[in-house]
Amino acid sequence: MASMDASIRLGRVAGIEVGLHWSLAIALVLIVWTLAGQVFPDMVPDQPQSAYWLVSLLAALLFYVSLLSHEMGHALVARRLGVSVEGITLWIFGGVARLGGDAATAGAEARIAIAGPIVSLVLAVAFGLITLGLDAVAGPPLIDAGCFWLALSNGTLLLFNLIPAFPLDGGRILRAWLWGRRGNRYRATATAAALSRGCSFVMIAIGLLGFFLQQDIGAVWVIFIGLFLLSAARNEEAYVLMHGALAGLRVSDVMSRDPMVAPGWITVEEFMRTYLPIQRAAAYPIKTFEGNLDGLVTLTRLAEVPSESRRATRVRDVGVGLDAVPQARPAEPVAAILNRFGSGDGHVLVLEGGRLVGIVSPPDVTRALGETVLRRDRERTSS
């Protein structure tokens, strides 16, 4: 599923980091409020209000445990198939298993995608059997209602995730099937993304009809989910096609070689007077007085220093320390470093054997991407 940063980190489950997004609090309140105020009173009337709230809270928490189990299914199968797992985040629309790479084959993609729905199916059956058992022994009616709701919710989660739209599991299963049939991951992604957009438009249309014709507030959620799926389908297509265009490119192919290293101990004024005219760049690695690599400073940071402060401000004071600047090796695939540009002021230092050999910025990758696309277009035209 789509990537999503956690606001609160809960710890690790089976070695996988689990976190919560802030939007989860909104969903939790809405679920508990709806269950305690409407669903459970309708199912089991004449119960103490405190009992409704308690069972509703427990049911909501168990539902999120179910969501976590669903995503753990994806994560554990992915790890078993050699795909790294960065973590799991629960948020307002469900859960996200953040994978650190892509499946190597269509079969692996399908197994990872189907693992979550299988977990949801098992949980739906389990809660359903518990409901039948409580009915048979005349168990507490509110507990019975809570288990029935959990069975229904896991069944709904199963069916919803099988909708053939990215980033849902059904969209990934569809992409895996097309990939296996055509033998081309990128063509399969383009087709699956087009179908995903079609599903999204249908959901948006259904939501709009429900809202305007029946004044159904629940239809607003359908609209929001449709818009989310539409955006996710476009992002997934762009992500995969970009990685396809970068396939085969190494960091050494796109990096700026042997960048000028600025002395971090001199003042900003001195740097601008003596070093900037030599080589104007967007960023400069900086070194200590002993010659050790010490971090990075960007031209933007230097320019932001007020003119009256440049004589007393060292370059090192403006820059980013080495521990905060992402690094790469020349032989690494370019696609593997794309998620590293978020830190280090948007630059990656390239080191080989502890020695600085280059620097990579997003414009370097964009330029290489454009050249690759143009070259492939020329090859396609000539053939």
What percentage of the chain reaches a pLDDT higher than 70? 91
Reading the block at residue 295, the tokens are 């971090």
**Is residue 379 annotated as a catalytic residue, yes or no?**
no
Question: What is the band of 382 on the pLDDT scale with cuts at 50, 70, 90?
Answer: low
Helix locations, the chain, DSSP H: 23-34, 40-43, 49-80, 106-136, 141-161, 169-182, 185-214, 218-246, 251-254, 268-274, 299-304, 315-318, 362-382
Q: What is the pLDDT of residue 216?
A: 67
Domain 251-373 annotated CATH 3.40.50.720 = no
Strands 16-20 and 85-91, bridge-based pairing: parallel
Q: Are 293 and 268 in contact (CB under 8 A)?
A: no
Judge if pTM exceeds 0.95: no
Q: Alpha-carbon distance 217 to 212, whole Å?
A: 10
Reading the block at residue 368, the tokens are 């290489």
- Mean pLDDT check: name the lowest of 42-46, 94-98, 107-111: 94-98
The tens digit of pLDDT for each residue in 175-221 reads 899 989 888 777 788 888 888 888 888 888 988 888 888 776 667 77
**Would the pLDDT of 6 be above 70?**
no
Question: What is the band of 1 on the pLDDT scale with cuts at 50, 70, 90?
Answer: very low
Reading the block at residue 286, the tokens are 């900086």
Nearest CA-CA partner of 65 in 137, 10, 142: 10
Question: What is the band of 332 on the pLDDT scale with cuts at 50, 70, 90?
Answer: confident
The tens digit of pLDDT for each residue in 120-146 reads 999 999 999 999 999 898 889 999 999
Coil, helix or strand at residue 2? coil
Reading the block at residue 241, the tokens are 């096609």
**Quick one: DSSP state of residue 333?**
B
The tens digit of pLDDT for each residue in 48-61 reads 899 999 999 999 99
Q: What is the sign of the dihedral through the CA atoms of 90, 96, 98 and 99?
A: positive
Choose, from 71, 109, 236, 237, the residue flagged as catalytic. Answer: 71
